[in-house]
Amino acid sequence: VNLREAPSDFRLPEGTISLQEVMNASEENITVEISLKDIVILMYTAGTTGLPKAVTFWQGKLIGGYKLEYVRNAFKTLYLLENDVLFTALPLGHANALFITTFNAYLNERPLILGKRFSASRHWNICRKYNVTQFNTLGVMIPILMKQPEQPNDREHDVKVIQSAACPKEVWEAFENRFNVKIQEFYGATDGGGFMLTSLGQDGYPIGTMGKPVQGQNASILDDDGIHLGPKEVGELVFEWKEKEIKQRTVKYYRNEEASNSLIISDKDGKKWFSTGDLAYCDEDGWYFYVDRKKDVIRRRGENIAAYSVERIINQNEKILESAAYGIKTELGEDEVMIAIVLQPGKSMTPEELLDFCKGKMADFMIPRYIEFVNELPKNMVHRILKRELKKRGITQDTFDREK
């Protein structure tokens, strides 16, 4: 099974057959030898900052290895009840939908509702129609649901818990209060080696946290010199790489040995850690908080700017549906902040109005130089914004430059 869109130069492994061939084959049972080393799935990374990479899952790893361990760790904290009904509108080519939701329902014998695609306007009606009790969200989904017009029946449904990934803390409590649900965060990745943070099943967690490492895993925050950072210091989120778990944890990108090897890094003492590529910090109580992708950090006039921080503030404007902040190279070779904005239907805004909104809410050096209002943002199949496409498009005739 090959899941998600592949780069144009991608070639399938030898011996791969199409699903249509399988569907047209005889219904008689056949004898096939399956090795634990056989590739069963090539699942693609999000590809938000660079081209997607194919993560290899073998029969042994998928069926008997860390992925089921990864799912079981989630099961332990989801506390599924006998009457629970799960729902996902995410594609099965994504680890969230396949491993966390579908495997969860299958192994626990719970009903599963599969949506064709995420629709903010239809989402709650689907939940009501099928008596959904739990669903998962990614990044922009909660803010977009929150910006739907309020309805008299917003709290009339059976949903009790939402497993969220990267819910902005600015809308967390407001969302819970409006829809009468509980948000619980988790962190993981298709190419994350089965490492996981979660607040699921834990009490007293702070708003905005990704959670703590699941049982048997250790995490830390490293700077670029391999030094472990203290509470609330921002660095790369890493997980302890244990020699006894190498067979379970090893991540292999299909035909990309260099990228595969780059996932394991060492601290200043030579100890090995799994690199996530995400910036985060840990508070005094061991709760981890997301900051941004390392590749999304904008370097402007000596300052490091987290694109996610710019977006979180701008998205609070009631006229704005969603936005994407990213760095654009200038004629001097350094980055300037650019923001692409999708407005709410029927709303209008000028660049000057946006700049006035930003003042006092973010540092002056974070305020975007370039502003462009667009009809839509380029996204992948799980609704993550493809900033590489925005960077490739660059400055257009519709781009506002506040320095001109």
Residue with tokens 């306007």: 121
Domain covering 59-289 assigned CATH 2.60.40.10 in the classification: no
Q: Where are the beta strands (DSSP E) in 59-130?
A: 86-88, 112-114
How does the average pLDDT of the chain come out, rounded? 87
- The two three-digit tokens of residue 112, written as one number: 């599963």
CA distance 4 to 254: 14
- The two three-digit tokens of residue 248, written as one number: 């379970």
Under 8 Å CB-to-CB from 198, ≥6 apart: which residues? Answer: 73, 74, 77, 184, 185, 186, 187, 210, 211, 212, 214
Three-class DSSP category at 88: strand
Q: Determine the number of helices (DSSP H) and then strands (DSSP E) in the chain.
A: 13, 21
Q: Is 280 exposed, middle or buried (0-12, 13-18, 19+ CB in 10 A)?
A: buried
pLDDT digits (tens, 9 = 90+) for 41-56: 888 887 666 677 888 8
CA distance 332 to 336: 10
pLDDT higher than 60, residue 70: no
pLDDT digits (tens, 9 = 90+) for 240-266: 998 777 767 788 888 888 888 889 999
For residue 385, which of 334, 337, 342, 335 has the smallest C-alpha distance?
Answer: 342
pLDDT digits (tens, 9 = 90+) for 165-181: 888 888 999 999 999 99
- Give residue 139's pLDDT band: very low, low, confident or very high (50, 70, 90): confident
pLDDT digits (tens, 9 = 90+) for 86-110: 999 988 888 888 888 888 888 778 8
pTM attached to this predicted model: 0.78
CATH architecture observed for domain 301-401: 2-Layer Sandwich (3.30)
pLDDT higher than 90, residue 131: yes
- Give residue 16's pLDDT band: very low, low, confident or very high (50, 70, 90): confident
Helix (H) or strand (E) run with residue 95 in it: helix 95-95
The domain segmentation of the chain, as residue ranges, is 1-58, 59-289, 301-401
pLDDT higher than 60, residue 64: no
CB distance 200 to 211 below 8 Å: yes
